[in-house]
Amino acid sequence: MGERIIAREVQNRIHLAQKLSRKTVLKTLEFGPGRGHFAREVLSLGWEYLAIDGSPSVLRLLRNDGIEVIQSFVPPMPKEASEGYDLVLMEHFIEHMDSPTSARNLVDSVYRSLSVDGLIFIVAPDFLMHGSNFWDCDYTHSFVTTTQRLRQLLLDCKFEICYIGYETLGIQNSVLTWLISVLTNLIFITRFPQLISLILRGSTDLSNKWKNVLLRSCVIVGQKRFS
């Protein structure tokens, strides 16, 4: 099920990028590539692709599959990343910045690395739905993300906003996106999912993972209009 959800999310990114850029093949940079689902799909389409990640295990996994990746923590943008990208993707990445200043510095560096009309895609948990789960699901979540905060960040970095929406389970901007998040929060108040996880796994870890997946994410896209 998880693989199907990820595949749907990847297709959402690709279709929206092609629609907004009006290109079929994009030079792409991704921060925090995870297991490389997006990388493998766009490479199969003939896109030029580069990833940046600080984890040695992620680097080994991707490089074993022939995916080009730079080991680096950001900001600042590593010099090896060069410029002229049509798309920069940050999926569940920017919330790990340690402060608004770091987030601003990162987005500023992305602006400089993009070609004219290049796109920045940001996907991040919606704090307004996640609430305390935003902090509890990952100790490195430091920069609070909502659509409004991300919109302000992109505008301050001179981007033109061309898409704002929500997503859960690969479903975008539907009443289901909102309903699934609301029902998830209501069900977790009963402590029933935590109990099931405790019985099956001996801990509540499984329920925490599903809560993180079911609560909606913000999706926002900015476009660079000036060099």
CATH of the domain at 116: 3.40.50.150
Residue 193 belongs to some domain of the structure? no
Residue 77 belongs to some domain of the structure? yes
- pLDDT tier at 227, thresholds 50, 70, 90: low
Residue 180 belongs to some domain of the structure? no
pLDDT digits (tens, 9 = 90+) for 113-152: 999 999 999 999 999 999 998 998 889 999 999 999 999 9
Q: Which of 112, 64, 60, 58 is nearest to 88 (CA)?
A: 112
Q: Which pLDDT score is estimated for 22?
A: 84
The count of structural domains within the chain is 1
Residue 200 belongs to some domain of the structure? no
Q: State the pTM of this model.
A: 0.92
Residue 97 belongs to some domain of the structure? yes
pLDDT digits (tens, 9 = 90+) for 146-171: 999 999 999 999 999 999 999 999 99
What is the mean predicted confidence (pLDDT) over 33-50? 94
Q: Which pLDDT score is estimated for 205?
A: 80
197: helix, strand or coil? helix
Residue 187 belongs to some domain of the structure? no
Residue 199 belongs to some domain of the structure? no
Q: Across-strand partners of 51?
A: 30, 69
Residue 57 belongs to some domain of the structure? yes
Round to whole Å and give the CA distance between 224 and 112: 9
Helix or strand holding residue 138 (H, E): none
Range of the domain at 92: 2-172+215-223
User: Is the Cβ–Cβ distance between 61 and 35 less than 8 Å?
Assistant: yes
